[in-house]
Copies of this chain bind each other. A is one copy, B any other.
């Protein structure tokens, strides 16, 4: 059994943050593939067998993959829109019933352009569903204590139900200290170790599930993809995507394997998966021959690659080679327009959940 020479790096928090920034910086660019989902906003469940799919071509060398694309497109943009509609209705119902509007506070330190855009997109998303957003902009040379003071005041503010600290923070600050200062009841990002621990443990419930992996599972649910008893492979083991995605799949009774930069023969393991979630940040790393015919693919990667045909000089691609995957898989998320829009939708949902819990509103 020869080792593969394929090497890749994990999505580190910083590169993942970069990806998220990229994603949202370009969220308004109308670069979306043609979608196959019908006119309804709520997609119909997929009707296919995960294990056998006689209509799929057998696994063949890449060069001879001439079959037409046949995978269903998992339309994250449409699902995210539907979730925003649902959140809007709940926010409105809550306001009418008990006079409370959910509030999200975002702390932005410094003047990174990408961070500012990301925060602006969150703010816009809040506005669109009726969630109140508060923003604290601190200069780059603020002290750690000043940031902690803001967190403390948001912790105590009853109109704030979720607190986000925009990453990365300036280098002179201790990120762990600052994130740990956020009250766990308002940690809508779900990154607190106590939340992650509860996510890992059977019989315990996390207060919040991290937004991006939650969005991945939500896509599987809304497309009616069975998870229980299925083989799932998560590629990448970052704290913010890969690891919590694996824990979520396990909670739903999938048999989970985690592939990472130290894995030998990642393609061999990936090929066993009924469900693939990839979050490594390597453009087109997962080729058609990594994929079991009929598998469902959730591609979290958003990677810029040079493209002289694009006016920007680049385009965004996923971790998965979409052209090849769409000929082998039964369903696949596009990039952009797949997982990307789900992250903010889940953040809005988490903020709503927090406000409901704090005010004991069902």
Chain A interface (Cβ < 8 Å from any Cβ of B): 1, 51, 192-204, 228-229, 231, 237-239, 243, 247, 250, 253, 255-260, 262-264, 269
Contacts and interface: CB of A to CB of B under 8 A. Distances in A.
13 contacts: A1-B51, A193-B194, A196-B196, A202-B238, A202-B239, A229-B264, A231-B269, A237-B250, A253-B260, A255-B259, A255-B260, A256-B257, A257-B257
Given A250-B258, A255-B257, A255-B258, A243 B193 contact: no
A265 to B, nearest CB: 9
Given A202-B243, A229-B264, A257-B258, 17 more contacts: A192-B197, A193-B194, A193-B197, A193-B198, A193-B200, A196-B197, A196-B201, A197-B198, A200-B200, A228-B262, A229-B262, A231-B269, A250-B258, A253-B262, A255-B257, A255-B260, A257-B257
Contacts of A198: 193, 197
A245 to B, nearest CB: 12
Contact of A200 (B203, B228, B247): B247
A263 B197 CA distance: 23
Contact of A195 (B197, B256, B259, B269): B197
A193 B256 CA distance: 21
A259 B257 CA distance: 9
Contacts of A204: 193
A63 to B, nearest CB: 27
A197 B250 CA distance: 15
A115 B81 CA distance: 55
A231 B198 CA distance: 26
Contacts of A196: 196-197, 200-201
Nearest to A12: B202
A197 B239 CA distance: 10
A129 to B, nearest CB: 30
Q: Which 8 A-B pairs have the closest CB atoms?
A: A197-B197, A193-B197, A196-B197, A257-B257, A253-B262, A255-B263, A193-B198, A194-B194
A134 B1 CA distance: 54
A196 B239 CA distance: 13
Contacts of A200: 193, 196-197, 199-200, 243, 247
Nearest to A251: B237
Nearest to A1: B51
A277 B262 CA distance: 20
A51 B255 CA distance: 23
Nearest to A272: B269
Contacts of A256: 257-258
Contact of A255 (B192, B193, B238, B269): B269
Contacts of A264: 229, 231, 255
Contacts of A239: 201-203
Given A192-B197, A197-B197, A202 B257 contact: no
Contacts of A253: 260, 262
A265 B258 CA distance: 18
Contacts of A197: 192-200
A234 to B, nearest CB: 11
A344 to B, nearest CB: 23
Given A193-B197, A197-B195, A198-B193, A262 B255 contact: yes
Nearest to A242: B202
Contacts of A257: 255-258
Contacts of A231: 264, 269
